[in-house]
């Protein structure tokens, strides 16, 4: 949906809070602050998504393609999403005819309503967007219908005859219903056109699959079916009709070779799913009810056919009250007998008060607000899939609303304009890989860092609205700490981190993802030196080498450091007791896929294998430091071992670095040697 047309009130460890505006207190809080990551898994992360662009081809002047706006296209798909959500609009069908085959579609390139005609420009847009997404490495897509075609709709109830007269200039490509009087009205799907609607949807899917070779992972039969007060094209459904069409859609899809495509129910905010649309008067009935009785076995209202049709739960969230105004969502979905379906957030953003990025809010304050909201949603519902609305919509020189980026024309070239949110979400999407990470809750004794705990205390007394992401093999964590207050914190102790080291990036009013700290994790603990006021701080921990960081490199067998001999005319490298000298500190930088150069900080020379004997290809060749020339004897693979230590392997000879003879004394030479897997060939990379 178009969130700037909605009228409502109005974040890995995600710690977020509503921004507190005012004068910043630069004096850090003195009391000890702790953040503790739970040992219990909250949810499996299966996918991160984006709605690439809202208009979906309906406004050609605002479209982006590889040809017209390549830099914008790269930015939209540079976030790292694993799936995209695309709109299938009723306006893609320009006909009053409801009887057609699911096996073929007929195009009409004009706006006339010839029988059986589809809008080729709209379908071409869908095909182009899908091919673009595939070319950028996106692995899945989901479809959501904003509205059935106008020919299938009526006014009032599903059994009301279609008696309204459309205006000649009706923007049928949107699926809106505009009367000849100029009034735009809410509509319903006609009951006698429900089968035609399913055929229309399946025909569109089959065409898109035929053109792209790409089958959707999931579909939604109607975007926000109980929303009445909307400023976008839509269609109102009551529960009875939704149940009928969901079952009919499932059987139609099964009959057309689409049994593997799941139906998501019901693609709306949780409160509209379970209760009513509180923004409408009178309020309509919700689709599934608070406890999902029609989908719950052994319930008197259980509908086995419907339960088989609905393959996942899908929700939207635009503010903190969208899902959790009455009860905790996890209990209704997971513990009241509901089947273990995946839970999807198919549309997420945060309201802002006015147009433009964050309305009247500064970019940093809107960013803090967003991550506070995100944390609250993840804690209250164990999401598996999560989709951001929306990446980009139009080029007008600003970042619009809650978009991740905008663009401007500079010398005839469309240049992206990035919000402060963009690199934070990019880090989350690219680090927390689908199928490899889980979410976890986090507790803190700092009330200001908690995300709306007070609001939910009465519903879930033990709720702590903080969230973390952790790799399945317990080797990495990713946290985002949002400090909404005007007071900085110091000495924040984080417990439960995985890995051996952590990198800290901070975003403030004057900084965006600036590296602020790098340090070692000890027994799962890491101390954040400073948490700035009004900031979003990202803590990325891992057991892997981080390119660009400086390390001391310790031989496992002797606990001595790799050192460039400052007194050697040959720049020989050796081991020595660590003393903090710059000749014992090495900057590790990527120069290829898992290929690194190691630069000693005393002379800025690179670690290398001497080529004096057989071009450095023999076992026993010495290690030295020399000016970097990109030669392969100056490049190394750093390979992680099962015990968490590393081998440093020459990219020239494939021999690992070896402390000669397993000598434990200061000054022992370091050579390359046959791989023995002994500890004198294993190294630790530690914070100096």
**CATH code at position 609:** 2.80.10.50
Among 498, 519, 542, residue at a domain's last position: 542
Among 440, 457, 486, residue at a domain's last position: 440
Q: Residue 5: what pLDDT?
A: 33
* Pairing, β 47-50 against β 83-88: parallel
Identify whether the C-beta of residue 390 lies closer than 8 Å to the C-beta of residue 52.
yes
Domain count within the chain: 3
3-state helix, strand, coil in the chain (%, to 5): 20, 30, 45
> Which CATH number fits the domain that encloses residue 50?
3.20.20.80
* Same domain as 620, residue 573: yes
- Taking the alpha carbons of 253, 254, 257, 260 in that order, is the dihedral positive or negative? positive
Q: Which of 3, 58, 13 is nearest to 372 (CA)?
A: 13
Contacts of 36 (CB under 8 A, 6+ apart): 442, 443, 444, 494, 495, 496
* Same domain as 238, residue 143: yes
* Same domain as 554, residue 522: no
* Cα separation, 627 vs 481, whole angstroms: 41
* Same domain as 558, residue 421: no
* Same domain as 675, residue 657: yes
Among 517, 542, 567, residue at a domain's last position: 542
Q: Residue 58: what pLDDT?
A: 46
Q: Residue 121: what pLDDT?
A: 77
Residue 367, by phi and psi: left (phi above 0), alpha (psi -120 to 50) or beta?
A: alpha
- Taking the alpha carbons of 204, 206, 210, 216 in that order, is the dihedral positive or negative? positive
> Which CATH number fits the domain that encloses residue 529?
2.60.40.1180
* Same domain as 189, residue 332: yes
Q: Which of 79, 45, 49 is nearest to 478 (CA)?
A: 45
* Same domain as 402, residue 261: yes
Please measure the distance between the N-terminal and C-terminal CA atoms of the chain and give it in whole angstroms.
Answer: 51
* Same domain as 174, residue 115: yes
* Cα separation, 500 vs 644, whole angstroms: 9
* Cα separation, 667 vs 573, whole angstroms: 9
Q: Residue 278: what pLDDT?
A: 32
Q: What is the DSSP secondary structure assignment for residue 519, as one 8-state letter?
A: E
* Same domain as 499, residue 489: yes
* Same domain as 448, residue 396: no
* Same domain as 427, residue 461: no
Domain with 412, as residue range(s), is 3-440
* Same domain as 279, residue 179: yes
Mean pLDDT per 10-residue interval, the chain, length 688 residues: 31 39 50 88 95 62 62 90 90 67 71 63 86 93 89 72 49 43 68 90 94 97 76 77 96 97 86 42 54 80 92 82 42 51 90 48 86 82 91 83 87 91 93 94 85 47 70 91 91 93 92 88 93 94 86 93 77 91 94 92 95 93 95 94 87 96 94 94 89
What is the pTM (predicted TM-score) of this model? 0.78
């Amino acid at each position: 949906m178009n969130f700037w047309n909605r009228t409502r009130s109005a974040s890995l460890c995600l710690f977020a809070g509503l921004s507190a505006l005012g004068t910043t207190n630069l004096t850090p809080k003195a009391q000890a602050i702790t953040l503790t990551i739970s040992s219990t898994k909250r949810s499996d992360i299966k996918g991160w998504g984006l709605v690439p662009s809202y208009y979906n081809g309906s406004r050609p002047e605002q479209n982006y393609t590889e040809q017209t706006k390549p830099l914008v296209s790269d930015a939209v798909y540079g976030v790292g999403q694993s799936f995209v959500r695309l709109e299938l609009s009723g306006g893609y069908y320009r006909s009053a005819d409801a009887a057609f085959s699911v096996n073929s579609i007929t195009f009409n390139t004009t706006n006339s309503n010839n029988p059986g005609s589809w809008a080729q420009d709209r379908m071409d847009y869908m095909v182009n967007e899908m091919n673009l997404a595939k070319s950028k490495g996106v692995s899945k897509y989901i479809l959501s219908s904003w509205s059935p075609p106008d020919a299938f709709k009526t006014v009032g109830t599903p059994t009301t005859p279609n008696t309204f007269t459309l205006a000649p200039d009706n923007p049928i490509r949107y699926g809106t219903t505009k009367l000849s009087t100029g009034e735009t009205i809410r509509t319903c799907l006609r009951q006698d056109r429900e089968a035609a609607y399913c055929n229309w949807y399946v025909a569109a899917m089959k065409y898109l699959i035929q053109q792209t070779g790409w089958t959707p992972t999931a579909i939604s039969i109607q975007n926000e079916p109980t929303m009445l007060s909307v400023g976008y094209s839509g269609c109102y459904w009551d529960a009875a009709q939704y149940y009928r069409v969901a079952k009919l859609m499932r059987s139609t899809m099964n009959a057309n070779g689409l049994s593997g495509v799941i139906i998501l129910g019901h693609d709306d905010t949780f409160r509209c799913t379970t209760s009513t649309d509180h923004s409408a008067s009178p309020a309509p009935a919700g689709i599934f009810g608070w406890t999902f009785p029609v989908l719950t076995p052994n319930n008197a209202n259980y509908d086995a056919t419907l339960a088989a049709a609905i393959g996942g739960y899908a929700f939207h969230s635009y503010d903190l009250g969208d899902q959790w105004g009455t009860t905790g969502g996890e209990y209704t979905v997971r513990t009241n007998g509901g089947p273990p379906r995946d839970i999807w957030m198919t549309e997420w953003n945060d309201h802002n008060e006015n147009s433009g990025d964050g309305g009247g809010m500064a970019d940093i304050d809107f960013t803090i607000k967003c991550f506070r909201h995100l944390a609250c949603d993840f804690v209250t519902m164990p999401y598996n899939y999560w989709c951001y609305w929306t990446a980009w919509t139009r080029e007008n020189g600003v970042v619009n609303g809650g978009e991740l980026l905008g663009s401007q024309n500079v010398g005839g070239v469309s240049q992206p304009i990035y919000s402060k949110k963009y690199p934070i979400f990019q880090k989350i999407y690219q680090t927390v890989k689908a199928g490899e990470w889980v979410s976890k809750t986090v507790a803190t004794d700092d009330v200001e860092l908690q995300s709306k705990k007070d609001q939910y205390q009465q519903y879930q007394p033990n709720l702590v609205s903080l969230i973390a992401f952790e790799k399945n093999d317990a080797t990495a964590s990713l946290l985002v700490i949002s400090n909404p207050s005007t007071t900085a914190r110091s000495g924040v102790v984080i417990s439960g981190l995985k890995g051996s080291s952590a990198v800290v990036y901070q975003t403030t009013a004057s900084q965006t993802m600036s590296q602020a700290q790098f340090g070692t994790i000890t027994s799962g603990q890491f101390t954040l030196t400073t948490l700035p006021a009004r900031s979003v701080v990202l803590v990325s921990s891992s057991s892997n080498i981080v390119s660009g960081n400086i390390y001391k490199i310790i031989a496992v067998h002797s606990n001595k450091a790799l050192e460039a001999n400052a007194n050697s005319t040959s720049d020989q490298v050796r081991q020595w007791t660590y003393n903090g000298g710059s000749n014992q500190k090495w900057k590790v930088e990527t120069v290829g896929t898992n290929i690194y150069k190691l630069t000693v900080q005393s002379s800025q020379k690179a670690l290398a294998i001497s080529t004096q004997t057989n071009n450095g290809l023999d076992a026993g060749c010495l290690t030295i430091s020399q000016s970097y020339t990109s030669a392969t004897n100056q490049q190394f693979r750093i390979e992680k071992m099962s015990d968490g230590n590393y081998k440093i392997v020459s990219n020239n000879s494939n021999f690992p670095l070896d402390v000669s003879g397993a000598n434990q004394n200061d000054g022992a030479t370091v050579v390359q040697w046959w791989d023995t897997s002994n500890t004198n060939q294993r190294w630790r990379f530690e914070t100096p």
